Amino acid sequence: MGDVIIIVISGVLGGFAGGLLGVGGGVIYISAMVLLLDEQQQVAQGVSLAAIIATAVVATITHSRSGNVDAGIVPLVAPLAIVAGFGAALLADAMDGAVLRRIFAVVATYFALTMIVGALRNMRVVATQD
């Protein structure tokens, strides 16, 4: 029962983060599965990607209706993302889970710190304008 609660909470938080921010759902799904459910890194990433498909479809439709999707850019980005995603998934599957987990942690930490530093800089700019 505890596992179900963790899955439900991570699904809600991940879906909310993905819909609101466009990113973050996967970090929440993967972290919850690996750290709280003791799932293998590759399995957690596979489940996360499958869950993100549904989130991405719904969020894309919503953002599109609001005019937030530049249809001219999508055909340029999507094919490259598909090829890169396929290659990276093959690489992840071939890697040792512990190594992949460390890479995931470093990348997630880097992006989190980058976002925090950017937000702090933006707050400083706004404060100096007042």
Q: Are 105 and 31 in contact (CB under 8 A)?
A: no
CB contact set of 52 (below 8 Å; sequence gap of 6+): 18, 25, 26, 29
Under the banding of pLDDT at 50, 70 and 90, the label for residue 130 is: low
- Can you tell me the mean pLDDT for 92-114? 93
Domain ranges of the chain: 2-129
Higher pLDDT, 119 or 83: 83
CB contact set of 31 (below 8 Å; sequence gap of 6+): 108
**Amino acid present at 130:** D
Q: Could you report the per-residue pLDDT of 26-85, keeping only the tens digit for each?
A: 888 899 999 999 999 999 999 998 888 888 888 889 999 999 999 999 999 999 999 999
Q: Is the pLDDT of residue 127 over 80?
A: no
Q: What is the DSSP string of 87-126?
A: HHHHHHHHS-HHHHHHHHHHHHHHHHHHHHHHHHHHHHHH
- pLDDT on residue 82: 93
Helix (H, G, I), strand (E, B) or coil at 72: coil
- Rounded distance, CA 91 to CA 72, Å? 30
Mean pLDDT of the chain: 89
What does DSSP assign to residue 71? T
Q: Are 100 and 42 in contact (CB under 8 A)?
A: yes
- pLDDT on residue 105: 94
